[in-house]
Structure formats: structure tokens, C-alpha cells
């Protein structure tokens, strides 16, 4: 092959591969953006994540955050800028500091406590054995109880 043909084939190969790499980068940025938007409550739509807010101001904030990601700013830095601007009350995922530590550890503690209580109940019931059976119910007349017992004995 001549060098010109090789160069043409190489440039064709690079041309074909480069869009797929751009798509991969776009997909990675989309995923990173989505995860970042989910970590912020919207300052414009109370009770919603930034990702779920239909407000035009939310779209502007998301576009600004996305532009910073595209420029290579780490997501943690983008989020810290958002929280500096709007405040920590818009943090959807608590930090592992101060009260946030309690918010992370409390559910785990409740799960462990519930498991211990359940195991205690199970062990106590196993230890005491089965509940004693009553010979007869006081609400059932003795004649009827005798008839029930006779019928049951015929079934055995």
C-alpha cells in the first residue's frame, strides 16, 4: 500500500472511531450529571430533587453545573459551589459529619436493634416450648365438647 492510501485509511478509521468516543464521554457526563442533580434538593421546587424540578431556573442551574463538569471541574467541587450559594439545607444526601453522621447511623442502629428483639422473641418462644393446649373451652357446653372429641377420634 502506498503511504497516501494508508493515511486515507487511517484517517477514515479515526473518523469512524471518534464519534463513538464522543458518545461514551457524553454518556459518562450524562450519568455523572444525573447523579449530581439527585444529590441536590431544588431551591426552586420545594421537596423535589433538582433533577425532578421543571422550573426554568432549575434548568439554568443544571446547565451551569453540566458546563462546569464539561470543563473538567470535579463533581464534588461543583456540588460544594451549589451548597455555598444556596445553603446546606438543599443537600439531599447528608454528609458524614455532625448531625449527618446520626442520619447515616440511625437506620443501621434501628435495624440491628430490631433484629436483636426478633431473635430474643424467637429464642424465648423456643425455650418455653409450645403453648399448652386447653382440654376444653369454657364457652362450649360439655356435651358438645364430648361430641367433638368423639368425632375427632373417629377421624384418626
Mean pLDDT, consecutive 10-residue stretches, the chain (156 aa), reads: 62 56 76 89 89 90 92 90 88 74 83 93 82 63 89 85
d(CA 6, CA 16): 15
pLDDT of residue 51: 86
pLDDT of residue 131: 62
pLDDT of residue 56: 92
pLDDT of residue 132: 62
pLDDT of residue 63: 92
**Measured distance between the N- and C-terminal CA atoms of the chain, rounded to whole angstroms:** 95
Strand partners, 41: 49
d(CA 25, CA 18): 11
Grid coordinates in use for 86? 444556596
- Distances in Å between the Cα of 118 and the Cα atoms of 19, 90, 96 are 57, 37, 29
**CB 68, CB 82: distance < 8 Å:** no
pLDDT of residue 7: 61
Amino acid at each position: 500500500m502506498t503511504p497516501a492510501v494508508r493515511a486515507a485509511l487511517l484517517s477514515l478509521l479515526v473518523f469512524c472511531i471518534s464519534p463513538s468516543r464522543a458518545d461514551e464521554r457524553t454518556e459518562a457526563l450524562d450519568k455523572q450529571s444525573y447523579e449530581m442533580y439527585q444529590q441536590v434538593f431544588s431551591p426552586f421546587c420545594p421537596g423535589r430533587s433538582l433533577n425532578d424540578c421543571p422550573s426554568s431556573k432549575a434548568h439554568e442551574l443544571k446547565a451551569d453545573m453540566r458546563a462546569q463538569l464539561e470543563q473538567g471541574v470535579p463533581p464534588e467541587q461543583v456540588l460544594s459551589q451549589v451548597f455555598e450559594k444556596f445553603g446546606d439545607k438543599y443537600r439531599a444526601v447528608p454528609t458524614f459529619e455532625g448531625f449527618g453522621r446520626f442520619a447515616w447511623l440511625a437506620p443501621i442502629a434501628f435495624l440491628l436493634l430490631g433484629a436483636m428483639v426478633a431473635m430474643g422473641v424467637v429464642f424465648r418462644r423456643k425455650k418455653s416450648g409450645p403453648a399448652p393446649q386447653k382440654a376444653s373451652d369454657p364457652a362450649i357446653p360439655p356435651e358438645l365438647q364430648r361430641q367433638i372429641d368423639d368425632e375427632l377420634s373417629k377421624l384418626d
